Structure 1
Amino acid sequence: MEEQRMDQLCIICGHEKQEGLRIIDEFICEACELEMVKTEVQDAKYPFFIHQLKRLWIQKNA
């Protein structure tokens, strides 16, 4: 019997997706994960990713 996966809200892009990873209690979609891995520190999007990922630690320590 095949299990149906529910859409989950990505903390990076804010879209609901099925494929991705869970860190602590949050979800990062596969597309955002791939984009973050390829992003260089000098890229304009890098600070945005850092800001979004901080939510993992803030929620964990709240």
Structure 2
Amino acid sequence: MGKVIKELEEAQGCIICGQTKEHGIMIISEFICEDCEHEMVQTDVMDAKYPFFIRQMKRIFYKKNA
């Protein structure tokens, strides 16, 4: 399955890092910058940062179901 990278007409805030960037992916209606997406897929489940990524990703689904 190919990765969809979206080049936005204007920068958006990343739901993971909070920075405003132009390149990344959209999941449902939330933006994840290319840097965070790359870091997340490279992070091992035993890494201390893994729970942080899970918490941030849950925000996407909480917003969708709210």
- The DSSP-based 3-state class of the residue aligned with 2:16 is coil
Could you tell me the TM-score, scaled by structure 1's length?
0.92
* Residues 1:52 and 2:40 are matched in the alignment: no
| Structure 2: segments with no counterpart, 5+ residues | 1-7
- What are the equivalent positions in structure 2 for 1:4-43 lying under 5 Å apart? 5-43=9-47
Report Cα offsets for 1:19-58 as digits up to 9, x if no partner.
0000111000000000000000000000000000000110
What is the percent sequence identity of the aligned residues? 61
Decide which structure has the larger Cα Rg and report it: 1
| Structure showing the higher strand proportion among its residues | 2
Q: How much has 1:5 moved relative to structure 2?
A: 2.1
Equivalent residues, number: 59
RMSD: 1.0
Distance 1:25 1:57 in 2: 10
